[in-house]
Amino acid sequence: MAEGPMSVGGQAILEGVMMRSPHSLAVAVRRPNGEIVVREDRWVSIWERARFLRKPFLRGAVVLFESLHNGVKALTFSAEEATKGLEQDPSKPEEAAKPLSDLAIFGTILVSIAFGFALFAALPHFITWLAGTLLGSASLASGKDLSFQIVDGVIKIGVLVGYLALISRMPDIQRVFQYHGAEHKSIYCYEDGKPLTVANAKVYTTLHPRCGTSFLLITVVVSILLFSVVFPLLPTISSVKWLNQLAYVFIKLPLMFPVAGIAYEMTRLSARYPSNPIVRAFTWPGLQLQHITTREPDDSQLEIALVALQMTLRREYALQAGSALAAAGDEPVVFPSYPEFLAAMQAPINPVVLAA
């Protein structure tokens, strides 16, 4: 999400934050007793093994898949740690949670994609088609014309905003959105070159132009444009109208890869030219949507975001310095409190990053 001194992005999870840099991924979670548990390890992107995927318009799909993969693992870890010790039978020893297998993670990603596609692609498509059929509008009932794609896109945005507004009323989600705000503030602080402290981070806004929320909105706009070019070229696939529309919906699925690729390149432009009026114009709607998906965090939530950020940056500087730290594993580490975490970081590799 960030294009500062080093590219760093993050994700809010249950009672915690995940941070990822080019070669490191760290997850920090606050346990109910106040302890901070951190899992950090070296991150190796698919790009390292298939460098052709770094090409523009291909890398967006890679980033999306890797984000889903890392997000599922981080959420699973946070769910285990954020509830540790709650309503536990003292007569039964606490069992170590088993990490998800690669197959389970892949299955979870598939289910997530299927749900998202059904809600944000199939549902708006059929609503638009039914509206066109009931109103006697040939263009809206076609499933192909520009007017269809515009109405479909507007409905997609409505579904997205409605869904986010609905889940934002849940207390647990409100806390996740607070951690989302903490993630943005801490990354802003890092991008600005300030020491990573709670006092410094809290002055920044919770709205970040390269947030995943903004990315979702950009994909909707890109899909309208791309589908408007592709779908008029498609033939009628079935004489049964609803089957024909179902076929069109499934054609949209592979087209989401170029949509994600284009949207990702547009997001990178916002990082490279943040002051450009055109860039500011297309990032503005995403920033407004973040008023739903971010909340003002408290100091304890900012602490967690800063822990995750400092841990992932610590490995990056260790790699640059050729330190043995770079070979460390991903076994979770527990800190009784934030001050004790800072005390453990008193041999900083980079004094700005690890400033107390």
Of 294, 68, 75, which is closest to residue 164 (Cα–Cα)? Answer: 294
236: which DSSP letter?
P
Confidence at residue 329, expressed as pLDDT on a 0 to 100 scale? 55
In a domain, 158, yes or no: yes
> Judging by DSSP bridges, how do beta strands 16-21 and 9-13 pair with one another?
antiparallel
pLDDT value at 100 more than 70: no
Instruction: For residue range 41-94, list pLDDT tens digits in order.
Output: 888 777 677 777 777 777 777 887 888 888 888 888 888 888 875 655 445 455
In a domain, 66, yes or no: yes
pLDDT value at 250 more than 90: yes
Output phi, psi for 40, to 5 deg. Answer: -140, 140
β partners of residue 40: 26
Q: Which residues contact 318 (CB under 8 A, 6 or more apart)?
A: 324, 325, 326, 349
Of 66, 85, 51, 62, which is closest to residue 18 (Cα–Cα)? Answer: 66
In a domain, 1, yes or no: no
Instruction: For residue range 127-175, list pLDDT tens digits in order.
Output: 999 999 999 898 888 888 889 999 999 999 999 999 999 999 999 999 9
Is the pLDDT higher at 145 or at 271? 145
Residue 206: both structure tokens together: 């919770």
In a domain, 356, yes or no: no
Spatial distance between the Cα atoms of 23 and 21, rounded to a whole number of angstroms: 6
pLDDT value at 350 more than 50: no
Cβ–Cβ under 8 Å, residues 200 and 187: no
In a domain, 3, yes or no: no
Instruction: For residue range 275-318, list pLDDT tens digits in order.
Output: 788 888 878 888 899 999 999 999 999 999 999 999 998 888 87
Confidence at residue 11, expressed as pLDDT on a 0 to 100 scale? 93
Cβ–Cβ under 8 Å, residues 229 and 262: no
In a domain, 15, yes or no: yes
Of 149, 159, 154, which is closest to residue 129 (Cα–Cα)? Answer: 149
Confidence at residue 2, expressed as pLDDT on a 0 to 100 scale? 38
In a domain, 4, yes or no: no
Full domain range(s) for residue 177: 9-87+100-344
240: which DSSP letter?
S
Separation in Å, CA 294 to CA 60, 143, 305: 24, 35, 14
pTM of the entire predicted model: 0.86
Could you tell me the pLDDT band of residue 349, with boundaries at 50, 70 and 90?
very low
- The structural domain count of the chain equals 1
In a domain, 188, yes or no: yes
